[in-house]
Amino acid sequence: MNAQMRIYGDLRSGNCLKVKYAADLLGVPHEWIAVDIAAGETRTPSFLAMNPAGQIPLVAWPDGRVLAQSNAILRYLARGTTLLPADPFLQAKIDAWLFWAQYSHEPYVAVARFEMVYLGKPKAERDPRLVTRGEAALDLMEAHLASRLWLEGGGFTIADLALLAYTRLAPEGGFDLSPRPALRAWIARCEQAIGLES
Q: Which parts of this chain interact with its own copies (CB under 8 A)?
A: 52-53, 55, 65, 67-73, 75-76, 79, 88-89, 91-93, 95-96, 98-100, 102-104, 107, 140, 143-144
Instruction: Write the DSSP string, 104-121.
Output: IIIIIIIHHHHHHHTS--
Give 105 or 168: the residue with its C-beta nearer to its own copies.
105
Give 58 or 164: the residue with its C-beta nearer to its own copies.
58
Give 106 or 190: the residue with its C-beta nearer to its own copies.
106
Q: In what order do the strands lie in the sheet with 58-60?
A: 30-34, 5-9, 58-60, 66-68
Q: Could you give the CA distance from residue 161 to residue 84 in angstroms, rounded to a whole number? A: 11
Contact, 4 vs 54, CB < 8 A? Answer: no
Residue 128: CB atoms within 10 A of its CB come to 8
| Nearest distance, CB of residue 137 and its own copies, angstroms | 9
Q: Could you give the CA distance from residue 79 to residue 194 in angstroms, rounded to a whole number? A: 17
| Nearest distance, CB of residue 167 and its own copies, angstroms | 16
| Nearest distance, CB of residue 197 and its own copies, angstroms | 29
Q: Could you give the CA distance from residue 169 to residue 198 in angstroms, rounded to a whole number? A: 11
| Nearest distance, CB of residue 195 and its own copies, angstroms | 25
Give 8 or 100: the residue with its C-beta nearer to its own copies.
100
